[in-house]
Amino acid sequence: MMLELRKLTAAYGKAIALEGVDLQIAQGELVTVLGPNGAGKSTLLKVVSRALPSQGTLEFEGQSLHRYSTEQVVGRGICHCPEGRRLFAELTVLKNLQLGAYLRRDKAAVAADFERVYSLFPILAERAQQIVGTLSGGQQQMVAIGRALMGAPKLLLLDEPSVGIAHRLKLEIFDAIRKICDDGVAILMAEQDAQSALGIADRAYVLEHGHVAQQGSAAELGKDDRVRRIYLGVG
Ligand SMILES: Nc1ncnc2c1ncn2[C@@H]1O[C@H](COP(=O)(O)OP(=O)(O)OP(=O)(O)O)[C@@H](O)[C@H]1O
Ligand SMILES: [Mg+2]
């Protein structure tokens, strides 16, 4: 397994946010984490990127991540595209993308990754000199994903990439996410739009109150009565 969580627990002070979570991601997989507000989806991503301490097994490529800092985790190949995007709104698209590569010294590969980001999101090439704060929400999300890709991830963590985005751009972004995975980057994606997420994911976990309530292939969960009722709003 590329990523392995077993009996993973995390808390904010005394408030437990994740309890006994088991989750695995294999190389090349696109895994989505569904669940209501407050279920612990963002917390899960923060734990993997080491932005929040945790207890239990947290392994990447067979090695525990517990002694790694957030920066060291990026160096190991895990890049986090956080909730709310966290871009530098007053800087250009280009500068934001460059900042995603700040730990890298492999100039030729960085240049190739710029091309990859611009081919996934052609609008970003056109808008390279535009101040990010003046882009639409969907375009900003593209910058956020692009910036994470500029870190050369083996595993990309995406926190609700579709939130607050117009339908057409949303489809474009989900297509791009699938493509990133098909090009060899494993993805762990928290998402509230279960329909779109299950449409591109290989497997899914449903988090509720900090624990895994359901899991399975995206196809299985898409047909599951409970998932359909609660998360797809049908039946
Ligand atoms: N910085 C924080 N300090 C204290 N409690 C927090 C903090 N961040 C999250 N929590 C709590 O941890 C629990 C899980 O929150 P989390 O943000 O992981 O949920 P989520 O599934 O991402 O929700 P959403 O869909 O709204 O983004 C919630 O009860 C939340 O109130
Ligand atoms: Mg969240």
Ligand nearest to the CA of 18: 1
CA of 120 to the centre of ligand 2 (A): 25
Ligand 1, atom 3: closest residue by C-alpha? 12
The region that residue 210 occupies, defined by phi over 0 for left and psi between -120 and 50 for alpha, beta otherwise, is: left
Who contacts 154 (Cβ-Cβ below 8 Å, separation ≥6)?
A: 2, 61, 76, 77, 78, 185, 186
The single-letter DSSP state of residue 154 is S
Ligand 1, atom 1: closest residue by C-alpha? 12
Ligand nearest to the CA of 46: 1
Whole-model pTM above 0.75?
Answer: yes
How many other CB atoms sit within 10 Å of the CB of residue 122? 11
Is 123 touching ligand 1 by the criterion CB < 6 Å?
no
- Ligand 1 closest atom vs CA 210: 14
Mean pLDDT of all residues in 127-142: 94
Cβ 202 vs Cβ 30: under 8 Å: yes
Give the residue from 30, 61, 3 showing the smallest Cα distance to 178: 30
Residue among 9, 12, 162, 209 whose CB has most ligand 1 atoms within 8 A, to mutate: 12
Q: How large a percentage of the chain has pLDDT more than 90? A: 85
Q: How far apart are CA 181 and CA 92, in angstroms?
A: 27
Is 12 touching ligand 1 by the criterion CB < 6 Å?
yes
| Residue 84: per-residue pLDDT | 78
Give the residue from 157, 193, 207 showing the smallest Cα distance to 35: 207
Give the residue from 96, 104, 2, 4 showing the smallest Cα distance to 47: 4
CA of 209 to the centre of ligand 2 (A): 13
CA of 103 to the centre of ligand 2 (A): 26
Q: What is the pLDDT of residues 163-213, one digit of tens each?
A: 888 888 899 999 999 999 999 999 999 998 999 999 999 999 999 999 999
Q: Is residue 67's pLDDT more than 80?
A: yes
Q: Is residue 25's pLDDT more than 80?
A: yes
Instruction: Copy the structure tokens of residue 11.
Output: 């808390």
Domains (range + CATH), the chain? 3-230 (3.40.50.300)
Q: Is residue 234's pLDDT more than 80?
A: no
Q: How far apart are CA 145 and CA 183, in angstroms?
A: 15
Ligand nearest to the CA of 39: 1
| Residue 233: per-residue pLDDT | 75
Is 10 touching ligand 1 by the criterion CB < 6 Å?
no
Cβ 165 vs Cβ 177: under 8 Å: no
Q: How far apart are CA 81 and CA 158, in angstroms?
A: 5
Q: How large a percentage of the chain has pLDDT more than 70? A: 99
pLDDT band at 235 (very low <50, low <70, confident <90, very high): low
Q: What is the pLDDT of residues 90-129, one digit of tens each?
A: 999 999 999 999 888 898 999 999 999 999 999 999 999 9
Ligand 1, atom 30: closest residue by C-alpha? 38
The dihedral built from the CA positions of residue 127, 139, 123 and 110, taken in this order, carries a sign that is: positive
Ligand 1, atom 7: closest residue by C-alpha? 12
Q: How far apart are CA 155 and CA 64, in angstroms?
A: 15
